[in-house]
Amino acid sequence: MLDPLLQILDPTVGIVLLFCGAVAWARRPKSRVGVLLVAAGGCWFLGSLWSAAVFLHRGPLVHLHLSYPTGRIRRTLTVVTVVAAYVVAVVEGLVESPWLTLGLAVLVAAAAIDVFTRTSGKARKAGGPALAAALAFAGVLALSSANLLLDWDADRPVLLTYDLTICAVAIVLTADLLWGRWTDATVADLVTQLGGHADTIGLQGELQRALGDPTLTVGYWVAEVGGYVDDAGRILDVGGDNGRAVTTVEDNEPVAVLVHDPAVLDDQALVDGATSALRLAVTNVRMQAQVRARVGELAAARRRIVEAADAQRRALESELAAGAERRLDSVARFLDEVHERVGETDRAALGEVRAELRGAQDELREFAQGIRPSLLGPGGLEAALPVLAARGTVPVHMDIAVGRLPPAIESAVYFVCAEGFTNIAKHSAAGQVWVTLRVDAGDVVARVADDGIGGADPQGLGLRGLADRVEALGGSLGVGNGIAGGTVLEARIPVEAPR
């Protein structure tokens, strides 16, 4: 015969679950806590009428403990635990399996601790009651399993403890929900989520989840159009009376607007917190956009400086070729003619003049080559790099898979290779050099590798100057060691200027 106290307590538990669920559902309709409590109460009474459903209430209760206060589950471990709770509840009603119940108890405790430890601040404070409730429920599940596995024969105390724990958990979570600490937790979580966005994409979804309104639309103020636009850039009509509520977000000027279900306003504290979080997020996005714009303007200015300087070098190289070099060549030809007509004594003196003239010509050509290699003009890198490589003493293998490039980029690539060859000749003791030029995803990539001893200093004067030139064009210069030793110098430069 069933204990009289348990006869009274058993329906009381179901009534408590239904009452708490109804109150929570009415007062916090956006939270699923009320729905889960009502579901647990319904399953409780169903179990009283049908023995196979006696444990069905455990599924909604585990779901409640691990998803409080919103009723929504996100983490993988939590999803697995909730699914397992529903499955075990069905199996236990058909076949007595205390080991399954014990495993579920361990899983519930682990998932609850995982949820709690991954929150912080107000969210963790609000998560305290949920953690206590989950651990208490896991404890009575483990207690009921131990009673069967260890033959304690303590059915009455275990059932009393089980029923009283469920009542206490339902009352505590409902009271905590009505006190509103879950609102602080939701807002804190929302601030964290919105703060990680570098743009406005995704803000609407976060607000829909936080406010429990999948129809919510966010509009962002654009002064140029004098109105609000949505994520897709469409102008948002916020003036029509279509049964929707409009909440504006301002910060001395319009920032954004929320168009939502009027029921959202039932929890004004949550709405206020959400609008504050959105205001901070949009302000943060605007600041980041301004910083990116300034960085982009600076990068564009640096690129223009390099391109202008390269244009000046080309002009100077042309002037030298058309002016000083041509005149020196004319003088050289004149001296050659005079050399044939003078005597032996004058020829000796004239030879010294011709030697000085050749030295001046060589120095002028080297100077012009340093300004901008003359071969880059007519033939580009395919013509200039083999000539550059031929001047060294180390064999160079070339794989050039690029055509003509903008002059500033061709100059930068040329000087990257020239600096690489110079360092290899001076410091690497290399036996071979490999040069690769290709276009990759809109960037020209120049790679100079050797099989020497490695150890190039990226902060050396020559490499540092090259890095500045490459970075001014929007690219990057890397110095590292090869897989089989040696040094790898790689420059990556966008072919087109970034917008």
Split at pLDDT 50, 70, 90, the class of 47 is confident
Give the angle 105-108-110 at the CA atoms, nearest 5°. Answer: 110
pLDDT of res. 22: 92
pLDDT tens digits, one per residue of 393-426:
888 999 988 888 888 888 888 888 888 888 888 8
Q: How far is CA 71 from CA 32, 36, 79, 210, 234, in A?
A: 4, 8, 12, 11, 33
Q: For residue 149, is pLDDT > 90?
A: no
Which of residues 448 and 307 earns the better pLDDT score? 448
Residue ending a domain, among 148, 179, 210, is 179
Mean pLDDT of 142-150: 88
Residue 24 lies in a domain: yes
**What mean pLDDT comes out for the span 81-96?**
88
Residues 287, 231 share a domain: yes
Across residues 383-391, what is the average pLDDT?
Answer: 85
Q: How much is the pLDDT for 118?
A: 75
- Contact between residue 185 and residue 122 where contact means Cβ atoms under 8 Å apart: yes
pLDDT: which is higher, 493 or 187 = 493
Structural domains in the chain (count): 4
Rounded CA-CA distance 85/233 in Å is 45
Q: Which of 389, 329, 415 is nearest to 364 (CA)?
A: 329
Token readout for 229 is 């636009």
Whether the per-residue pLDDT at 12 is higher than 80: the answer is yes
Is residue 212 domain-resident?
yes
CATH number at residue 422: 3.30.565.10
Higher pLDDT, 75 or 324: 75
Q: Which position has the higher pLDDT, 322 or 423?
A: 423
- The residue with greater pLDDT, 478 or 300, is 478
Residue-level pLDDT at 446: 92
Burial class (CB in 10 A: 0-12, 13-18, 19+), 344: exposed
Spatial contact of 130 and 93, defined as CB atoms under 8 Å apart: no
Q: Does one domain contain both 346 and 331?
A: yes
Query: Domain limits at 349?
Result: 302-371
* Per-residue confidence (pLDDT) for residue 499, from 0 to 100: 44
Write the CATH number for 199. 3.30.450.40
Q: If pLDDT is split at 50, 70 and 90, which confidence band does 18 have? A: very high
Q: Do 209 and 151 have their domain in common?
A: no
- What's the average model confidence in pLDDT over 323-345? 64
From 150, 179, 208, give the residue that closes a domain. Answer: 179
Q: Which of 87-91, 165-169, 185-189 has the lowest mean pLDDT?
A: 185-189
Domain boundary among 261, 294, 327: 294
Average pLDDT over residues 291-310: 62
**What percentage of the chain reaches a pLDDT higher than 70?**
71
| Residue of 358 and 37 predicted with greater confidence | 37
